[in-house]
Amino acid sequence: MRLTDHWFSVPLNHSRPKETQLEIFAREITASAHTPDDVAGLPWLLYLQGGPGGRGIRPTSLNGWLKEATASFRVLMMDQRGTGLSTPATRQTLPSVGNAAAQAEYLSNFRADSIVADAELIRAAIAGGPWTIYGQSFGGFCALTYLSFAPEGLREVLITGGLAPLTGSPDRVYQATYARVAERNAEYFARYPEDRALTSRIFRHLENVTENLPTGERLTPERFQMVGNFLGGNTRMDALHYLLEDAFVSTAEGWRLSDLFLAEVSAQVSRRPNPLYALLHESIYAQGDATNWSAWRVLDQYADFQPSGEAPLLTGEMVYPWYFTQDPALVPLADVAEMLACRDNWPALYDPGQLARNTVPVAAAVYLNDIYVDHDLSMETAAAVRGLQAWETADYHHDGITEDGEEIFARLLGMCRKL
């Protein structure tokens, strides 16, 4: 493959374009089999990464969906604002913005509407005409925002695991996803029945014995629950089993959690690499009203997830206020997180009227057992976007494109081109 780096200057707030500027990094990826003249004639495809707070993929080889896409596109891999090599937003950089209130106001400009506005400036600078976009997970949410407010910039839209609900409270998102995660727990423990007793043992151990992660802080029962993120993938579910089998080691002080286990758990439960995920996760569903820690409130309806229970279930991608007291990378941002959770003037992320009039070809893979983006809510959205073709499948989970990216990409593109 051939990689070309691009840098762009964009306004923090697109309604005030002459004020604070951000830098956006994007990497162009093309197949080295194409000559420079060939590349110049290829159409552009913008990839919108999942998240929020996830930087663009750093490919080390041309495979999966990228291999399929670069056969006929110049792919632009954008680091969304606040991530990667774009102007960062972390515990290290945000204090330069001002106090907690100033930081919360600053971060209110880091949702899908601003990401789409960035993309439009970039498209005008390098592509000129409409381009194709491919959104995975939160990137699909951004794609729906793009269809709502800048459809003239789009040739066609591909979405995988990313049809967001267009209306309603985040509460119904978590009511649906808690139920999906509970089903996935049942599937996991049916596959690995010995791990049911093992996870309960780990919970009880963490209640009674202080175990510290390599970063120094105590591993709590509720933080251990976060390893349930493994349940969102096809083969990643098996990786959870391999993680758990390394849990205990016999020492002179009795049974303790092994250094290997603690290191692997730390990599899964720390938000140090992507603090925006924790800060903005619930806001991606917010339109108008405050989220008020929706996942934390809805958790009260699901006793099986309470870490003090006899056999607690593992959680998914939900974000809770205690993240900001237990994760050292998030502790300095606790006041900012609270202000964002209480913010009650979020602008609309979608235009249902425009989506109902949509003329851009759209194809979406909707996973029946997705624990992150609920199937039923996704199909509700699919029905509200004129012309959207939904491919419903139980063959993949949320990370389907890492399992069979070439097939999924080719199928969705073919669906768009047949319209």
Confidence of residue 214 (pLDDT cuts 50, 70, 90): very high
> Sheet containing 154-160: which strands, arranged edge to edge?
2-11, 21-30, 74-78, 44-48, 131-136, 154-160, 362-367, 388-393
301-314 confidence digits (pLDDT tens): 999 999 888 899 99
Q: CA-CA distances (angstroms) from residue 316 to 162, 176, 242, 372?
A: 16, 12, 18, 7
Tokens of 322: 């205690």
| Radius of gyration of the chain, Cα coordinates, nearest whole angstrom | 22
Q: Which CATH architecture has domain 2-166+350-417?
A: 3-Layer(aba) Sandwich (3.40)
Catalytic residues: 137, 370, 398
Torsion angle (degrees, nearest 10) of CA 209, 214, 220, 224: -120
pLDDT for res 336: 98
Instruction: Give dist(CA 131, CA 143) in Å, integer.
Output: 12
- Give strand ranges (E) for 224-304: 248-251, 254-257
Q: Which amino acid is at 7?
A: W
Pairing type for strands 362-367 and 44-48 reads: unpaired
28-63 confidence digits (pLDDT tens): 999 999 999 999 999 999 999 999 999 999 999 999
pLDDT for res 237: 87
For the chain, the structural domain boundaries read 2-166+350-417, 170-342
pTM: 0.95
Count of C-beta atoms within a 10 Å radius of residue 171: 16
Count of C-beta atoms within a 10 Å radius of residue 309: 13
Of 418 and 116, more confident: 116
Across 65-88, average pLDDT = 97
311-351 confidence digits (pLDDT tens): 999 998 899 999 999 999 999 999 999 999 999 999 999 99
Q: What are the residues facing 389 on neighbouring strands?
A: 363
pLDDT for res 128: 87
